[in-house]
Chains A and B, each alone.
Chain A
Amino acid sequence: MKQPTPYDVIVVGSGAGGGMSAYVLAKRGLKVLMLEAGRDYKPEEETPMFNTNAEAPLRGVSTPDKPFGYYDATVDGGWTVPGEPYTTAPGDREFMWWRPRMLGGRTNHWGRISLRFGPYDFKPYSRDGLGVDWPISYEELAPWYDKTEKIVGITGAGQLGLENTPDSPPGILHDTPTPRLHEIMMTRAFEAMGIPVAPMRAAVIQKPMDGRSACFYATSCGRGCSIKAMFQTTTVLIPPALATGNLDIITDAMVYTVDMGKDGRAKGVTYIDRVSGAHKSVTAKAVVLAASAAETARILLNSKDGRNPDGVANSSGTAGKYLMDTVGTDSGGHIPMLEGMPSRNDDGMSGAHIYVPWWGYQQQARKELPFPRGYHIEVGGGQRMPGMGIGDLADYSDVPFGVGLRQQMRHHYGSDIGFAGRGEMIPNDDCYAEIDPDIKDRFGIPVLRFHWKWSEHEIGQAAHMRKTFHEIIDRLGGRVTYGFETDGEKAIAAGGEIIHEVGCARMGADPKTSVVNKWGQAWDVKNLFITDGAVLPSNPDKNPTLTILSLAMRNANYLADEAAKGNL
Chain B
Amino acid sequence: MSPYVSKIDRRTALKWLSAAAVTLAVAPTMARAATYVKTPKGYGTDPDMLNPTSPWDRIMTDRQLQLTAVLTDIILPAEGPHPAPSAIGVPDFVNEWVSSPYEQTKSDQKVILEGLDWIDAEAKSRGAKGFVEADASLQLAIVTAIAKPDASAAHAFFKRFRHLTLGGYYSTPEGFADIGYIGNVPLESYPGPDAKMKAMLEERMKAIGI
A interface residue numbers (CB < 8 A to B): 39-40, 42, 44-66, 70-71, 75-78, 82-83, 177-181, 184-185, 188-189, 192, 216-219, 223, 226-227, 252, 274-275, 277, 337, 341-349, 383-394, 400-403, 405-406, 409-410, 413, 442, 475-477
Task: Say which one of B59-67, B109-117, B126-134, B194-202 lies at the interface with A.
Answer: B194-202
* A65-B179 contact in complex given A216-B186, A406-B79, A477-B208, C-beta closer than 8 Å: no
Q: How many A-B residue pairs have CB under 8 A?
A: 271
The 8 Å CB contact of B52, one of A64, A70, A226, A349, is A70
Task: Establish whether residues A177 and B46, one from each chain, have CB atoms under 8 Å apart when the complex forms.
Answer: no
Query: Which chain B residues border A341 with CB–CB below 8 Å?
Result: 197, 200-201
A385 near B22 with CB under 8 A, answer no
B166 touches A70 (CB 8 A): no
Q: Which of B52, B93, B163 contacts A394 (CB 8 A)?
A: B163
Is the Cβ of A58 less than 8 Å from the Cβ of B47?
Answer: no
- For residue A71, which residues in chain B have a CB less than 8 angstroms away from its CB? 49
How far, in angstroms, from A392 to B160 measured CA to CA in the complex?
A: 10
User: Judging by beta carbons under 8 Å apart, are B74 and A386 in contact?
Assistant: no
Flag if A390 contacts B210 (CB, 8 Å): no
Q: How far, in angstroms, from A387 to B201 measured CA to CA in the complex?
A: 26
Interface pair B193/A344, CB less than 8 Å apart: yes
Q: Smallest CB–CB gap between B90 and chain A, Å?
A: 9
Taking CB atoms and an 8 Å cut-off, the chain B residues in 172-205 that contact chain A are 172-173, 175-176, 178-194, 196-198, 200-201, 204-205
CB pairs A–B below 8 angstroms (15 shown): A40-B31, A49-B22, A55-B15, A55-B52, A58-B96, A58-B100, A82-B45, A179-B192, A217-B186, A218-B187, A344-B192, A346-B183, A387-B167, A394-B166, A401-B147
Query: In the complex the two chains form, is B28's CB within 8 Å of A184's CB?
Result: no
Given A50-B16, A386-B175, A476-B208, verify A401-B30 contact (CB < 8 Å).
Answer: no
Q: List the B side residues contacting A345 at CB < 8 Å.
A: 182-183, 185, 187, 190-191
A49, A275, A387, A391, most chain B CB atoms within 10 A: A391
**Which residue from chain A places its CB closest to the CB of B26 in the assembled complex?**
A45
Docked Cα-Cα span, A82 to B94, in Å, equals 29
Q: Evaluate whether A52 and B173 lie within 8 angstroms (CB atoms) in the complex, with A342-B197, A406-B79 already known.
A: yes
**Which residues of A lie under 8 Å from residue B193 when comparing CB positions?**
180-181, 184, 344
- Across the interface, which residues of B come within 8 angstroms of A385, CB to CB? 171, 176, 181, 183-184
Q: Which residues of A contact B14 (CB under 8 A)?
A: 52, 54-55
Q: Tell me the bound Cα distance from A62 to B25 in angstroms.
A: 27
Q: Are A82 and B22 in contact (CB under 8 A)?
A: no
Q: For B3, what are the chain A residues with a Cβ–Cβ distance below 8 Å?
A: none
Q: Report chain A residues within 8 Å CB of B4.
A: none
Are A344 and B35 CB-contacts (below 8 A) given A49-B19, A53-B171, A75-B45?
no
For A57, give the chain B residue with the smallest CB separation: B54
Q: Hey, which chain B residues are within 8 Å of A75, CB to CB? A: 45-46
Cβ–Cβ contact A188 & B210, under 8 A: yes
The interface residues of chain B lying within 8 Å CB-to-CB of A59 are: 93, 167-168, 171
Is B143 on the interface with A (CB-CB < 8 A)?
yes
Q: Indicate whether A401 sits within 8 Å of B198 (C-beta atoms), given known contacts A65-B44, A216-B22, A345-B191.
A: no
Proximity string of chain B (91-120) to chain A, C-beta cutoff 8 Å, 1 when within and 0 when not: 001001100101111000000000000000
B126 to chain A, nearest CB (A): 19
* Contacting pair B210 A476 (CB below 8 A): yes
Q: CB distance B183 to A57 under 8 Å?
A: no
A402 touches B186 (CB 8 A): no
Given contact pairs A63-B102, A386-B170, A405 touches B182 in the complex (Cβ within 8 A): no
Q: Is B1 an interface residue (CB 8 A)?
A: no
**Binary interface profile of B, 46-86, with partner A (CB < 8 Å = 1, else 0)?**
11011011100000000000000000001111010010000
Say yes or no: A65 contacts B93, CB within 8 Å: no
Minimum Cβ distance to chain B for residue A387 (Å): 6
Q: Judge whether B19 and A62 touch: CB under 8 Å.
A: no
- Of A45, A223, A391, which one neighbours B164 at CB under 8 angstroms? A391
Which of B19, B30, B33, B190 is within 8 Å of A275, CB to CB? B33
Residues on B lying within 8 angstroms of A by beta carbon are: 11, 14-19, 22-23, 25, 28, 30-33, 35-39, 42-47, 49-50, 52-54, 74-77, 79, 82, 93, 96-97, 100, 102-105, 140, 143, 147, 158, 162-168, 170-173, 175-176, 178-194, 196-198, 200-201, 204-205, 208, 210
Say yes or no: A82 contacts B103, CB within 8 Å: no
Given known pairs A386-B179, A401-B76, A402-B74, the reply for A51 and B19 (CB within 8 Å) is yes
> Closest CB of chain A to B30's CB: distance in Å?
7
Q: Contacts A386-B170, A401-B76 given: A48-B210 contact, CB under 8 Å? A: no
Give CA–CA (A442, B198) in the complex, Å. Answer: 57
Asked whether B167 lies within 8 Å of A185 as measured between CB atoms, the reply is no
Most chain B CB within a 10 A radius of its CB, from A51, A177, A343? A51
CB distance from A163 to the nearest CB of B (A): 24
Taking CB atoms, residues of chain A closer than 8 Å to B170 are 386, 390, 409
Q: Please judge, given known A-B contacts A58-B97, A343-B182, A388-B167, whether A401 and B143 are in contact too, CB under 8 Å.
A: yes
Inter-chain contact B42/A63, CB cutoff 8 Å: yes
Nearest chain B CB to A256 CB, angstrom units: 17
Of all A-B residue pairs in the complex, the 5 with the closest CB atoms, nearest first, are A82-B37, A347-B183, A343-B180, A391-B163, A57-B54
A41 to chain B, nearest CB (A): 9
Residues of chain B within 8 A of A217, CB atoms compared: 186-187, 189-190
A385 → chain B closest CB, angstroms: 6
Instruction: Judge whether B201 and A184 touch: CB under 8 Å.
Output: yes
Say whether A45 contacts B28, CB under 8 Å.
Answer: yes
> In the complex, which residue of chain B has the Cβ closest to the Cβ of A41?
B30
Residues of A within 8 A of B32 (CB): 39
Residue numbers in B under 8 Å from A178 (CB-CB): 190-192
Q: Are B43 and A409 in contact (CB under 8 A)?
A: no
Interface contact B205-A337, CB-CB below 8 Å? yes
A401 to B147 CA separation, bound complex (whole angstroms): 8
CB A179 to nearest CB in B, in angstroms, measures 6
- The answer to whether A392 and B163 touch across the interface, beta carbons within 8 angstroms, is yes
B171:A387 contact, CB within 8 angstroms: yes
In the bound complex, how far is the Cα of B209 from the Cα of A475, in angstroms?
Answer: 9
Contact yes or no, A65 B43, CB < 8 A: yes
Q: List the B residue with the shortest CB-CB distance to A403.
A: B77
List the B side residues contacting A343 at CB < 8 Å. Answer: 180-182
Note all chain A residues with C-beta closer than 8 A to B17. Answer: 50
Nearest chain B CB to A274's CB is how many angstroms away? 7
The answer on a CB contact under 8 Å between A405 and B102 is: no
Taking the closest CB of chain B, its distance from the CB of A194, in whole angstroms, is: 13
Q: Which residues of A contact B172 (CB under 8 A)?
A: 52, 54
- Across the interface, which residues of B come within 8 angstroms of A337, CB to CB? 201, 204-205, 208
Contacts of B197 in A (CB 8 A): 181, 341-342, 344
Compute how far the CA of A108 lies from the CA of B94 in the bound complex, rounded to whole angstroms: 32
Once bound together, how far apart are the Cα atoms of A59 and B38, in whole Å?
20
Q: Are B179 and A409 in contact (CB under 8 A)?
A: yes
- Chain B residues lying within 8 Å of A185, measured Cβ to Cβ, are 201, 205
